[in-house]
Amino acid sequence: MKVIKDIREMQSISNALKKEGKIIGFVPTMGFLHKGHISLITESKKKSDVTVVSIYVNPTQFSPSEDFEKYPRDFKSDENLCINAGVDIVFYPNGDYMYSDEHKTFVITEELSTKLCGISRPEHFRGVTTIVAKLFNIVNPNIAVFGQKDAQQSIIIKKMVEDLNFDIDIIIVPIVREVDGLALSSRNKYLSEKHRKDAPTIYSALTKAKDLIKEGEKQSRNILDFINKTLLSVPDLKIDYVSIVNMQNFEKVETIGTNTLIAVAVYFDSTRLIDNILIN
Ligand code: AMP
């Protein structure tokens, strides 16, 4: 496995691979890899000849009050996980040269980026789309794999790819969970023992809500009441939002039909966790 730190070197390797007719699969990450990331890598390997994983904690998607500085980083462990997962290339750029001091260009996917997580994190998706567009231009993949865990991000990236004519297939992989249901996340590391024990309530609220819907409850209002009540019964948990929306445009829906996303964001102290479930 190669570790490439230089942007130009990454570009020329990708160009050479493309000339040889190789299909490049790409998995962008912020590192501190876990089994969720590995499932994206596995999917990329199934669909491509060469898998590139990027590891870069992108400053522009964090607001000044968020956890950019303390975001967990462990390159040695990430490198080993990538080797074991059969990754071909890790793109691990130095933070200082991904954005020059003169950086002026940002990609914004309007409307989609101001809903759900965009309400409490107004700059977040601008940072995500900008870094993903940059990485797409550097890695030049045929396919790129993202996780349903960040459902809003996945849809926004798909829209960006469509609107800006990137010739890249976007693949979305299901959420990988701990045995108790908690969605794997690099941020789970921040949870205290007590909060870690309580956190699976997020997923159990979502699955029980899905059961209620299967049993015939179609009013979003009632499902929202149920999820809010369940979450509020957890000590120390603060709700950022619970929303029932159309999966494509994130508009709130009153009656639950197909293509509905139930999305949740909560805080345990300053640790923000997100989760979601699709109703099809
Ligand atoms: P991150 O490193 O947190 O920015 O995540 C990189 C990619 O991994 C994103 O596409 C995430 O949606 C995906 N991902 C993170 N956690 C999970 C998970 N538990 N299951 C599936 N994909 C995930």
Residue 97: what pLDDT?
86
Alpha helices (H) in the chain, listed in sequence order: 7-19, 35-47, 75-85, 95-98, 117-120, 124-139, 151-163, 193-198, 201-214, 220-232
Give the residue, by CA position, lying nearest to ligand 1 atom 14.
147
Choose the residue to mutate in 29, 152, 158, 189 for probing ligand 1, maximizing ligand atoms within 8 Å of C-beta.
29
> Cα angle at 14 between 2 and 84, to 5 degrees?
30
**Model-wide pTM > 0.75:** yes
Residue 280: what pLDDT?
87
How far, in Å, from the CA of 34 to the mean position of ligand 1? 9
Residues 6+ apart with CB under 8 A from 20: none
Q: Which of 84, 91, 109, 97 has its CA nearest to residue 3?
A: 91
* Burial label, 222 (beta-carbon count in 10 A; 0-12, 13-18, 19+): middle
Show the ligand 1 pocket: residues with CB < 6 angstroms. Answer: 29-30, 36-37, 39-40, 146-147, 149-150, 173, 175-176, 183-186
How far, in Å, from the CA of 32 to the mean position of ligand 1? 10
Q: Which of 67, 4, 74, 3 has its CA nearest to residue 32?
A: 74
Residue 199: what pLDDT?
98
Measure Cα distances from 146 to 27, 37, 41, 96 in Å: 7, 9, 10, 25
Could you say which residues of the chain have pLDDT below 70? none
Q: What is the pLDDT of residues 133-191, one digit of tens each?
A: 999 999 999 999 999 999 999 999 999 999 999 999 999 999 999 999 999 999 999 99
* Burial label, 34 (beta-carbon count in 10 A; 0-12, 13-18, 19+): middle
Residues taking part in catalysis: 37
Residue 220: what pLDDT?
98
Residue 104: what pLDDT?
97
Residue 95: what pLDDT?
77
Q: Where are the domains of the chain?
A: 2-173, 186-279
How far, in Å, from the CA of 209 to the mean position of ligand 1? 23
Position in ligand 1 atom list of the atom nearest CA 174: 21
Choose the residue to mutate in 30, 40, 272, 277 for probing ligand 1, maximizing ligand atoms within 8 Å of C-beta.
40
Residue 236: what pLDDT?
97
Half-sphere exposure of 123 (CA within 13 A, CB side): 11
Distance CA 234, CA 218 (A): 25
Instruction: Give the CA radius of gyration of the chain.
Output: 19
Q: Which CATH number fits domain 186-279: 3.40.50.150, 3.30.460.10, 3.30.1300.10, 3.30.70.660?
A: 3.30.1300.10
- Paired sense of beta strands 50-55 and 89-91, if any: parallel
Distance CA 220, CA 217 (A): 8
Residue 96: what pLDDT?
75
Q: Which of 129, 99, 131 has its CA nearest to residue 113?
A: 129
Domain 2-173 has CATH 3.40.50.620: yes
